[in-house]
Structure 1
């Protein structure tokens, strides 16, 4: 049998735990782009992922798998998901010479299957998911299980033939955990530049947007805590929270407790294409994740969507975001407190010229993060 290095790849498995079509977030969209790019190279693709609709393209075989549930035990749900994955992949591996998995949640069975099937395993990582378990410190089982689960995640990463990291901060972490530097390539997230609306609606200059999920790692509460301070100076400002998540109901209730619910709009969970429409409704976008080991590794997709849509960005100073953004040039960093966030929001709302400069620089920065180019770079690396 020819070696993996010398093989001409004919068939690939591409998989993720995120819904790919429609995509509900960056992971599903990134996976879909990788699949389509592989097809462009003449490679047949088995797309094994949550699929509410088929990805319609020649050479793609759509294989739906139920996603992990976020309503119940995330650990049990992940194990159940990977049992489905093992069953699906076991029947496909003998027909496959390349496996591309987005994030370790979908890769639990790959180290075992690799022992029996000589495939190239490419792992595309945009999150180290076990890092988020440490943030759920109220759950005793999570605190006990987290160190073991983290070791499992890194052991999966070490079995990959090639690893794609979303930031240099992530690459440095992986190297410190024993992943070989020569198999890692940094390829940032990106944005579908042609699909992002750039025209703003009337009234956008008095709206502030949080785009994306509302879970513990997103720290959306700090935005709500800033609202009352903003309203004391500018009572007409509206805050848009576009997305669902386990923390959404808590955030809704908190807006009522703080007496700011009349200035807050919550859309609930939306497909990514629908959520993007709200980029037309605001001139300021917030990334409130607090700096911590889990969050410092990621850039988030929303920064690129904000930039591309002509939306001024205020963000906490996450390490990965600092790699690609420059304070007061194409982003405005706040120190993590609600007081400083409120001051930065008021400053941007009241300073049109500075806001325009920030927006213009952000639009130019977005041009460097085209998701189609990222997908091409990922596939180039995977096939090299």
Structure 2
């Protein structure tokens, strides 16, 4: 009896520019899911604090890291950063090709320039999958508050990326609509794979009272400390809560690092709320979990704009996984994710944001009900275990695509 020929192992090269692996949780969850499903996986990414080793293998995944200039600021800075990244990504992709081989390039934006590498390798029979993390035209508008020649360039790069892609992955329905309408993708080749949390990592722990700094309540935030995350709104809400609403029984903890950390610390001092806010900087998961498990409520102060309205924030999912009630501005994808696990302030209304925090702190029954709803929603609908099969389905679609000849 003749044996069936053994199917060759599927091989994937993931390229991500803005965060190192395995620090980038979404990318790492995707990579390890593929590896456990029998794929050979390699990742190209930048170095970062705690991730300086240029080559290593973790959990069966090969990681190749490269240096980047300092984080960009202005057109020249972005050109330098993106040009340097593109050079190293192309160089390392050749190294991976000759060392391990790959069948698919899995590109994670931002920026929308990795299609240049994907397009080059498609000439040699490789496939290209686009993992749409951020809507860059809207991100540019949120950062610089204008629609100029660079905004139009962002639209053009996005369009070329979708046209190069054999399959694209969207993090939510809003992104899927953009892939189809603005990107011209075939709807059957656009898969929604949410950034569902890994519930085995987000463990519920006993509270640690020292985080409250001697006060009755703790309000928690976790995320990148950047310009468009709305932390300036949060600090002004703290000021209103303390100075105008007379609530001195609340402490705030802001967990995370980023380029605006020092300026926001200074802002807290200028607003005279420095003693009510703890900035942790970037911390290990153990410290993050201690702080969030101690929090009575958690907040997402992302400003209402086109970018944030259409984007799903990982912090929302993490709050829900830990059973924490949430206060955030009323944004489309924020509401789709949290539903009844959150109270929604009027968009960009700082006083209403502070008022919602006060009202929720004063309503323990609402906090308990909302926390339980959010945790059940994660456990029964949104955890990564429910998203992993969608990722594998997108790869089945990629491999059903006839490779270019």
TM-score by length of 1: 0.88
1:65-144 to 2 correspondences below 5 Å: 65-67=66-68, 69-70=70-71, 72=73, 73-93=77-97, 95-105=101-111, 107-137=114-144, 143-144=148-149
Asked whether the 8 Å contact 1:101–1:124 carries over to 2, the reply is yes
Asked whether the 8 Å contact 2:118–2:128 carries over to 1, the reply is no
Who is 2:400 aligned against?
A: none
Match of 2:193 among 184, 187, 190: 187
In structure 2, the CA distance between the partners of 1:376 and 1:70, relative to structure 1 (3 Å rule), is farther
In structure 2, the CA distance between the partners of 1:373 and 1:143, relative to structure 1 (3 Å rule), is same
Asked whether the 8 Å contact 2:34–2:392 carries over to 1, the reply is yes
Who is 1:57 aligned against?
A: 59
Who is 2:10 aligned against?
A: 10
Offset at residue 93 of structure 1 (A): 4.3
Who is 1:19 aligned against?
A: 19
Who is 1:29 aligned against?
A: 25
Q: Within 1, Cα distance between the matches of 2:96 and 2:83?
A: 20
SS in 2 for 1:14: strand
Asked whether the 8 Å contact 1:104–1:157 carries over to 2, the reply is no
Q: Give the total of aligned pairs.
A: 369
Q: Within 1, Cα distance between the matches of 2:305 and 2:166?
A: 29
- Asked if 1:220 is matched to 2:251, the reply is no
Asked whether the 8 Å contact 1:71–1:246 carries over to 2, the reply is no
1:332-351 to 2 correspondences below 5 Å: 332-335=343-346, 336-351=348-363
Who is 1:158 aligned against?
A: 163
Q: List per-residue Cα deviations over 1:176-198 (Å, max 9, x = no partner).
A: 21222221111211111011132
Offset at residue 143 of structure 1 (A): 4.2
SS in 2 for 1:118: coil
Offset at residue 378 of structure 1 (A): 0.9
Asked whether the 8 Å contact 1:137–1:143 carries over to 2, the reply is no
Q: Output the aligned Cα RMSD.
A: 2.3
Match of 2:314 among 282, 301, 310: 301
Offset at residue 202 of structure 1 (A): 4.8
Q: List per-residue Cα deviations over 1:72-91 (Å, max 9, x = no partner).
A: 42342122111110111134
**5+ unaligned residues in a row in structure 1: which ranges?**
1-6
TM-score by length of 2: 0.84
Asked whether the 8 Å contact 2:226–2:261 carries over to 1, the reply is yes
Which is higher, the Rg of structure 1 or of structure 2? 2
Q: Within 1, Cα distance between the matches of 2:91 and 2:318?
A: 37
Asked whether the 8 Å contact 1:34–1:375 carries over to 2, the reply is yes
Asked whether the 8 Å contact 2:341–2:371 carries over to 1, the reply is yes
Q: Within 2, Cα distance between the matches of 1:157 and 1:251?
A: 37
Q: Within 2, Cα distance between the matches of 1:122 and 1:104?
A: 14
In structure 2, the CA distance between the partners of 1:81 and 1:274, relative to structure 1 (3 Å rule), is farther
